[in-house]
A and B are shown apart, each in its own frame.
Chain A
Amino acid sequence: MECRARTAVVAAALGVLAAPTFAGESALAPSRRAEILHLVRQECGSCHGLRMKGGLGPPLVPEVLAAKDSENLRHVVLHGRPGTAMPPWMRFLTEAEARWVIEMLQKGLPSE
């Protein structure tokens, strides 16, 4: 619990730094990036598939996401989609982190 709170504080600080200009990878510490990738693969993966090819939730692969509006996608990640099974992730991701997640998904997750 303490660890999670600390992560959130660090993440929030990173978010403040990163948000106004760009969401590039450089704004997020490598360890945090690894945590986020783990979260995306494992927790998002439980509905969208470990390989993001879809499940109860739709596929999150570049062929599907690349043409979509990234701001809108980021909003869905942070706030969820009412009426569907998509929950809000804002408790676990800052704005900047969500932006990075969308960037990663739109170009395809790096191989493990």
Chain B
Amino acid sequence: MIVATALLLAGCAQPMLRGTGDLGLVVERAAGRLKLVETTGRTALATIGGLGDLSHASMVFSRDGRHAYVFGRDGALSRVDLLSARVERRIVQAGNAIGGAISQDGRLVAVANYDPGGVRVYDAQTLELLADIASEYGEGGQRAKVVGIADAPGNRFVFSLFEAGEIWVADLGDPRRPRLTKYRDIGRQPYDGLVTRDGRYYIAGLYGEDGAALLDLWHPERGVRRILDGYGRGEAPLPVYKMPHLRGWAQAGQLVLLPAIGRAEVLLADTATWREAGRIAVHGQPVFVIAEPGGRRAWVNFAFPDNDTVQVLDLERRAVVKTLRPGRAVLHMEFTARGDQVWVSARDDDQVIVYDPRTFAELARLSADKPSGIFLASRAFVTGF
């Protein structure tokens, strides 16, 4: 983790050596900038500009934790060096993109695109295009928006096709010749997906019906099965003012936590049986349901207009144990790898607030320009991130 390279920051006369394990990037989405932060002293180190339209920006990290690959809404893929705090390479690879993933071996970066619909795979070093997978479905050759892309062991990428209701697995063992396995009729309008931290399961959340689609990557031949089917019990759903997000943080020990769609509830699925293991009533439509690394609690934020609130769930007691009001428009939360801190962005207050997840004490407050996503470099070492 110690990288023998200078971190050249404004005001630093002497280049110094440092690791990247406690670094992270906060997206300042309206300004198209990133804020480089560190979680040891809980400070901002630098601002990195020139990244274009960062609405809904996300990123993954290189296997050495030094570089971030930033996926912009405008289709840009940028490689950012955390140590020199600058954009090293930037390509505009599509008209409209949603996110991406990095392969198990760290050599491939895949971008999920809305327009043109599909997945493009790039060399992580050079950003050279290696494979172009068009998300064509049905008879007419139309292309679906790709959502919920995640890496799986064996240099595979798994993703969902929103309009088509399909899950595809792309095996990039030979990066220029992806082998595709397509699962059709997995459910209506998959909106996001995740791979569990052990790399075994891919789960796509469904917007168009009550349930989720599950693929066991140890046994892909068994196909996709439905879980949490009919969780809405036939009741009319509430309007959803922001699409929830899924990622491997949904896993808490033997449970997987999923936001209900159109219900003020968090659903718990038991990974041993894949049956519903309970549900917890919460303040509004959940957007992110993020388990602490230890899996005992989970933090939840909410869609507009309830986005000034964060609730903490005790997963043993299946209850809300704390309601926080960190600020206006809480968009994201990120735990440090060992769970000693949780970073929370409050967009309309231009603040990032750091909490002690155990005591809920506020540890630090950083200013940021309309902050959205918070991405800590420790994601580099976790499957599905």
Determine if A55 and B241 form an interchain contact, defined as CB atoms under 8 angstroms apart: no
Report if B145 contacts A (CB, 8 A): yes
Complex contact A43–B114 (CB within 8 A): no
Q: Enumerate chain B residues within 8 angstroms of A43, measured Cβ to Cβ.
A: 241-242, 304
**A54 with B243: CB separation less than 8 A:** no
Name the A residues within 8 Å of B348 (CB-CB): 38, 42
Residue of B98, B241, B348 with most partner-chain A CB within 10 A: B241
Task: Please measure, in the bound complex, the distance between the C-alpha atom of A98 and the C-alpha atom of B259, giving whole angstroms.
Answer: 30
Q: Given A49-B55, A50-B53, A51-B53 in contact, is the A87-B241 Cβ separation under 8 Å?
A: yes
Provided the pairs A49-B53, A50-B73 are in contact, do residues A55 and B189 lie with their beta carbons within 8 angstroms? Answer: no
Check: B159 CB closer than 8 A to any chain A CB: no
Main secondary structure on B side of the interface with A: loop
Whether B304 and A50, one on each chain, are in contact in the complex, defined by CB atoms closer than 8 angstroms, is no
B53: nearest residue on chain A (CB-CB)? Answer: A51
Q: Is the CB of B73 within 8 A of A56?
A: no
Interface flag for B364 (CB, 8 Å)? no
Count of chain A to chain B residue pairs whose CB atoms are closer than 8 Å in the complex: 66
What is the CA–CA distance of A85 and B56 in the complex, to the nearest angstrom?
17
Are A56 and B242 neighbours in the complex by a CB distance under 8 Å?
no
A26-48 vs B, Cβ < 8 Å mask (1 yes, 0 no): 00000000000010011101110
Contacts of A83 in B (CB 8 A): 208
A11 vs chain B, min Cβ distance (A): 14
CB contacts (< 8 Å) of A55 on chain B: these are 55-56, 73, 96, 98, 114
- Please tell me which one of the listed residues A4, A38, A49 contacts residue B96 in the complex, with CB atoms under 8 A apart: A49
Which of A56, A85, A112 is close to B30, meaning CB atoms less than 8 Å apart? Answer: A112
In the complex, the answer to whether B239 meets A56 with C-beta atoms within 8 Å is no
How many residues of A are in contact with the other chain, CB < 8 A? 23
**Cα separation A112 to B56 with both chains bound (whole Å):** 19
B239 & A80 in contact (Cβ 8 Å cutoff): yes
CA separation between A91 and B284, bound complex, in Å? 15
A88 touches B239 (CB 8 A): yes
Q: Are A87 and B239 in contact (CB under 8 A)?
A: yes
Give CA–CA (A46, B56) in the complex, Å: 7
Asked whether A56 lies within 8 Å of B347 as measured between CB atoms, the reply is: no
Which residues of chain A are within 8 angstroms of B53 by Cβ–Cβ distance? Answer: 49-51, 53
The 3 closest A-B CB pairs, nearest first, are: A50-B55, A87-B239, A43-B304
